[in-house]
Structure 1
Amino acid sequence: MKKIFLTLAVVASVLTACKGEKKEKVETTEEVKVEKVADLNNVDTANSVITWKGTKPTGAHNGVIMLKEGSLVVENGTLKGGEFVVDMASIKNLDIPAEKEGNAKLVGHLTSADFFDVAKYPVSKFVITSVEEKEDKLHVTGNLTIKDVTKSITIPAMLMTEGGTTTFKSETFNVDRADFNVKYGSKSFFDDLKDKFIDDMMELSFTVKTK
């Protein structure tokens, strides 16, 4: 009997901890005016990727999105700027087998007007506006555009060069989709969703490689 009570206590404490866990989001501010980024077109789009994850009370989904084109400006090993154009039509789900009906259904919903409205907004974009190095980590500020909204965000990242290839890799960061007018299932826009809501926080990360 004591063992049963102990097990229940452990489960309860874990559930309480999970329920209390809150995702910290990157702060969004007004977009920063910046000169046009040099059009180097030096990003290897086949080997660059954005990972994403979305959550809801009943579970989570994750996947990837590819880049359409991009430029990474590096001088003497220092990151000076960059622009990544994201091909929103390339969004993929990875947690449901590709042959399952649910995979195509989810991707179709994400690309529809309910979420990212890819027919109207075929690309998203991240344009680096400034870079600061603190405590051996890059703090990269840039204008993130999703749909018709552009906001400035700052994300932690690293830059490394090996074998002639430079890789820009961000840590995972959380963006509030409500800031970018992505409304479906959001408690920021709708009342009485009960447990049918989808979390506003989207987990994202960049891995961008040069050619």
Structure 2
Amino acid sequence: MGRDLEELPGAGNEVALTFDAGANSAALASILSTLSTEQVKATFFLTGAWAQANSASVDRILAEGHRLGNHSMSHKAFTELTDAQIAEEIRGAEAAVLAAGGDPRPFFRFPFGERDSRVIATVNRLGYVAVRWSVDTLGWKGTNGGATQETVLRRVVDGLRPGAIVLMHIGSNPEDGTTLDADALPGIIKEIKRAGYRIVTLDRMLAG
């Protein structure tokens, strides 16, 4: 596709919730519980290293009907890698997720969101659609970084539009241990529904 998609193409009143998993899994139980209660499905971008270290968690994500995506093997900045190294990162993560019982194809998200035309083209040649986001909650910054449960919620509400892709994380902030995305998630889902949107997985891209 030659670009990093920031929204669901051709979407009407649909938005997607996505979670990146590359550090710890501190908030996963809370996030999955909320999604289950609200009967919402999300897309989880896993690094291969995370999938290897958290195979039981991969099982649970899949068992609850969520979608997986590829977030590289070791979360390196792709713009600093050669094409061969990029292929190694993507194929390594793909193999790790497959070994854990899931399949991340065809969705890929760049570590740190760092990309240029070369790395996007390389990812596309490997059979993946590069998926960015239209809203970053910034919950990953933690309270030490100035984020709060309310700012996380407000960023999503203010960024709502047809086809919006929301970026959140399942790990805790390494400095203060906060899990603001998980804390704000019940309110986020309620506000999205109140605004008349339907929450979908990224498979909506394939259907469209």
- Provide the TM-score with structure 2 as the length reference: 0.26
Q: Which has the larger radius of gyration?
A: 1
- Structure with the bigger RCO (C-alpha within 8 Å, sep 6+) is 2
- Provide the TM-score with structure 1 as the length reference: 0.26
